[in-house]
Amino acid sequence: MERDIYALMERAISSMQSYIERGYILATGLSGGKDVRPSCAQAFR
């Protein structure tokens, strides 16, 4: 199962790199607080 997770992470990173190489801009937003689980969102424009 751990290898499956690593494989999914590698594919996601590769996909993000391909968008950056094509000139897209990566925007990242973080949210979280003391009583809330932190979350992260990424978008290309």
Which residues touch 15 (CB under 8 Å, ≥6 apart)? none
Q: What pLDDT is attached to residue 22? A: 93
Q: What pLDDT is attached to residue 41? A: 79
Extract the tokens encoding 43: 């978008």
Q: What pLDDT is attached to residue 21? A: 93
Segment 1-45, tens digit of pLDDT: 889 999 999 998 899 899 889 999 888 887 776 667 777 777 877
- List, as one string, the DSSP characters of 8-38: HHHHHHHHHHHHHHTTPPEEEEEE--SSS--
Q: Helix or strand or coil: residue 4?
A: helix
- Residues 24/44, Cβ–Cβ less than 8 Å: yes
